[in-house]
Structure 1
């Protein structure tokens, strides 16, 4: 796991100052504290920060191919590198190291851009081919590893693992994209189709980019996609056996490391499944870690302890206070862009705990997206049944009217919070899911904005790209399309960004076995009844893991990391909530209705409504602008 950066001149191959790339790498030194390097040639420079995981002494980067005709910088892990290495050796390739980096170089020289289809793993890399005078950039299938790109005023393209690397370049403009603010307020993060800064792009997951001297900047090319269009046939027992085989394969392939390795263990289905299969594959006790909270309603540590005892893991646990708000500024600095998923705080804390004893930790991320494990998937599945029997002409006016007049009952039990469901049923399946996925609804966003911001935004709405993804998805049903959107938008934009930044902030490599692409492709082909069944999501996974885990682990309600931001803003952060309205940075933009913001704060502090999510979003937006040097 590492950090990469570089500069490539599209037009004239002007010399690149190595100090400039060195500064870009220094900005992401936390991603690779074990080594560094910069390589330059006419019109190109590549930089690398290394976190040593495999072949600790033998794979420094930037790395040249044995014939000197290609140069690589690479962030990630290739889990099938040994098999590829043997295949390439049989075809005549020679190797000087024992790691996976040199395998990528040999694969490039044999297969060119198609080499990515042979790689199983998580990666973002750049290869400069000295013969063809091209720069090839690629990102893994699901977007586990990030890559940011910017075209600069001197005709060059800069790239880096994090926005921090690009911010170290003096020619990068620091102008906020107002459409990214609309996106952020809708979703709680800036999705991969946009960046908080104008002129900065993110290479999409499963895409590559081939740059040539003397040619314009091309559009990224998609090299991988997942399809929900086909249904796998077979008896449940056969599907269960195939799933278990894929799970074992995914977990065992991610246990290869030359440094201490362990796992996050929350006590939920996904992380417990990973730990169970790690224990099965390991001769030594698996190292596991979890955090608990000193508030019983938020604490899952007893379930993690139960799994740790069942598999005799070397378990570390730490009790932390949910009053961790002193770290908010540090958290904003990790993400560069505004990021409002408050579970980033406890995720960072568990990464810190893991790093005390291991350098690599396996996580349980990905199963919810692949196997319909979120509560919103169950709602989507049920709502689509209603849509099937009630025509849009009836649903639109009836449910739309009811949803408009139904109160926003934050104080009420979940079963009585029907406003979102009614408004979802008023639209089609994609519109309904966009509303379910939103951090802030279109109506609540609209109330935040000034007239000036509305003019800047124009006709654009954050939902538009998501609706396009869902409506063009290779899928059969609304549930298929919802899961496809999760894999394409939510997963790389929120979940994987959160894990990458919080783990890399402490120089920890996080691996996601449940995002093995073969496993994802299998799950996408399952009949809906194997994903959602009897009011349960992830049905086949839970059924498969019954031999490994008890029912109170498999079938208890999903909880996840919780941060009590509503209580914070009525307690120790009450003044911070008031300060948001008077923030010079936000006020300077002129984008928000100050009177409405004051009303939100007053209503929250008095307990009349829960506006904590909006206040948290605005706080993180303000902190992010400060980190970016805006305002």
Structure 2
């Protein structure tokens, strides 16, 4: 795993200062502490930080073709490179390393822009072809690895693995994008292609960008999508057998490494499945790492221990105190823009532990999205049956009124917490799912924002992110639609972002066998009834795993990787929350309604309501503002962007 950076003059061939390029590269030293390389020529700069994983002696980057006319800087792994090498050699290409990186330059020469369709892996890369006067940027299909870019006013196209790389450029427009703020408070992250800054973008999953000198910078192209056909005729028995084979193949490819390798083991279904599969493929004991919590309500380490004992892994556990909140400011610097998933804290800790033992760790991320594991999927399907029984014209006024009148009962048993369900039933399918996953919901955001900030949004709502993706989903199956939306939004913007930044902060490579794109494509052909059956999520996956894992691991209620925010904000973080939300920093942005901020703090700390999710979002936004210096004490920098 690595970090990449670079500059390209789209108008001419200006010389880029080496010290600027070096500064861009050094700011992401954590992504690749083993080596660094820079390529400079008129109009082009490429930079790379290397974390050595495969071909430790000759895989340095930038890496070139035979005559040096094509150069690449690459972050990630091409898992099928050993299959591609002989194919490219038969086409006349000569290899000088054992590195998967070299496959990219020769694949580009042979197949051009279509080369990415041949790669199986996680990747973000920038390739310079001098003969074609072309810069080619690409990102993997599911957005595992990040790539940011910016077009500056002087005609420079800049790119980097992290937003902090672009922030080294004096010409970057760091005006806050109000639409990005709206997306952040709705979703907990800024969705692709936006960043928090007007002047920078994220290349989306499965996108390429081809930039030719002397031509306008085009819009990115999409080279892949997942299609939920749901038309496979396989029986349950045949599907479980094929799933087992596909899982073994995906894990096997991700175990190729020239450095110590292991796995995260939370005790949940996904990570336990990966570890059990690794154990069946390895002659040596698997290295596994777990985080335990000293609060029993958040601790599932006993189940991780059970799996570790069954497969005789080298199991390493560290206990994290329930009040492990010292990372707030560190996380703000790590993510570069507001990011509100509090599980970033234990994720950071487990990556820290893993790096003490291994350089590569396999994870179970992506399983919930493809196998149908989230509880919200089952609730959405139930609501869809109710929505189908009444037209929207009837539902909207009836359930809309009930949603407004019904009290929000955070303290009550779940069966009596009907307000959110009523609100969802008053919406169409996409609006309803967006409502169910929103961190700060529509009505609360309207109260939270200042009048001036609402005006700067010009009517924009973050639900447009979901509508844009729903328009390309090509399915009206209730489960398939929300799986597709999560694969395009939550998996990329939240899960993959969290794991990439937390792992790279510790120079740890994390690999994701449940996000293998052939596996994802195949699962999309299976009927939804094989994924969610009654109240059981991941039905097929669990059936396939029954010979490998106990019922305690497979069928216990999902716990998740969370921290006790509600208690923190009424206890050890009480003063910090009050100071952050009611202090000068947030007030000085001009974004928020002070009365709404005070209500959130007072109602939560008095115990009347549980506002832990919006409070955490605001706390992390405050940390972003203080750490980035993005906003002064006035609202104009934000409002100008509207």
Considering the TM-score relative to the shorter chain, is it more than 0.5?
Answer: yes
Q: Which residue of structure 2 lines up, in the alignment, with residue 515 of structure 1?
A: 515
Q: Which residue of structure 1 lines up, in the alignment, with residue 130 of structure 2?
A: 130
What is the RMSD of the two structures over their aligned residues, measured on CA atoms?
A: 1.0
2: CA distance between counterparts of 1:474 and 1:411? 40
Alpha-carbon deviation of 1:241? 1.3
1: CA distance between counterparts of 2:626 and 2:21? 24
Alpha-carbon deviation of 1:478? 2.0
Q: Which residue of structure 2 lines up, in the alignment, with residue 472 of structure 1?
A: 472
1:251 aligns with 2:251: yes
1: CA distance between counterparts of 2:559 and 2:625? 31
TM-score normalised over the length of structure 2: 0.97
Decide whether the 8 Å contact of 1:251 with 1:513 is kept in 2: yes
2: CA distance between counterparts of 1:469 and 1:87? 36
1:178 aligns with 2:178: yes
Q: Which residue of structure 2 lines up, in the alignment, with residue 120 of structure 1?
A: 120
2: CA distance between counterparts of 1:202 and 1:336? 13
Decide whether the 8 Å contact of 2:143 with 2:496 is kept in 1: yes
2: CA distance between counterparts of 1:275 and 1:447? 46
2: CA distance between counterparts of 1:163 and 1:92? 39
Q: Which residue of structure 1 lines up, in the alignment, with residue 200 of structure 2?
A: 200
- The answer to which of 23-32 and 472-481 deviates more is 472-481
1: CA distance between counterparts of 2:60 and 2:6? 16
Alpha-carbon deviation of 1:370? 0.6
Q: Secondary structure at the match of 2:327?
A: helix
1: CA distance between counterparts of 2:66 and 2:178? 47
Q: Which residue of structure 1 lines up, in the alignment, with residue 539 of structure 2?
A: 539
Alpha-carbon deviation of 1:173? 2.2
Q: Which residue of structure 2 lines up, in the alignment, with residue 70 of structure 1?
A: 70
2: CA distance between counterparts of 1:285 and 1:472? 44
Q: Which residue of structure 2 lines up, in the alignment, with residue 380 of structure 1?
A: 380
Q: Which residue of structure 2 lines up, in the alignment, with residue 59 of structure 1?
A: 59
Q: Which residue of structure 1 lines up, in the alignment, with residue 597 of structure 2?
A: 597
Q: Which residue of structure 2 lines up, in the alignment, with residue 615 of structure 1?
A: 615
Decide whether the 8 Å contact of 1:174 with 1:628 is kept in 2: no
Alpha-carbon deviation of 1:519? 0.6
Q: How does 1:479-498 map to 2 (within 5 A)?
A: 479-498=479-498
Aligned residue pair count = 631
Alpha-carbon deviation of 1:230? 4.4
Decide whether the 8 Å contact of 2:174 with 2:199 is kept in 1: no
Q: Which residue of structure 2 lines up, in the alignment, with residue 400 of structure 1?
A: 400
Alpha-carbon deviation of 1:472? 3.2
Alpha-carbon deviation of 1:193? 2.5
Q: How does 1:45-444 map to 2 (within 5 A)?
A: 45-444=45-444
Alpha-carbon deviation of 1:346? 0.2
Alpha-carbon deviation of 1:412? 1.6
Decide whether the 8 Å contact of 2:581 with 2:619 is kept in 1: no
* Post-superposition CA distance 1:219-276 (Å, at most 9, x none): 0000010001342112111111111111111101000000000000000000000000
Decide whether the 8 Å contact of 2:581 with 2:618 is kept in 1: no
2: CA distance between counterparts of 1:414 and 1:21? 54
Alpha-carbon deviation of 1:413? 2.1
1: CA distance between counterparts of 2:483 and 2:58? 41
Alpha-carbon deviation of 1:549? 0.5
2: CA distance between counterparts of 1:84 and 1:490? 32
- The answer to which of 301-310 and 604-613 deviates more is 604-613
Decide whether the 8 Å contact of 1:2 with 1:51 is kept in 2: yes
- The answer to which of 548-557 and 415-424 deviates more is 415-424
Decide whether the 8 Å contact of 1:471 with 1:481 is kept in 2: no
Decide whether the 8 Å contact of 2:399 with 2:423 is kept in 1: yes
Decide whether the 8 Å contact of 1:583 with 1:622 is kept in 2: no
Decide whether the 8 Å contact of 2:570 with 2:604 is kept in 1: yes
- The answer to which of 63-72 and 109-118 deviates more is 63-72
2: CA distance between counterparts of 1:32 and 1:105? 21
Q: Which residue of structure 1 lines up, in the alignment, with residue 637 of structure 2?
A: none
TM-score normalised over the length of structure 1: 0.99
Decide whether the 8 Å contact of 2:582 with 2:598 is kept in 1: no
Decide whether the 8 Å contact of 1:5 with 1:160 is kept in 2: yes
* Post-superposition CA distance 1:109-165 (Å, at most 9, x none): 110110000000000001000100100000000000000011112110100000010
Decide whether the 8 Å contact of 1:434 with 1:467 is kept in 2: no
Alpha-carbon deviation of 1:414? 2.1
Alpha-carbon deviation of 1:396? 1.6
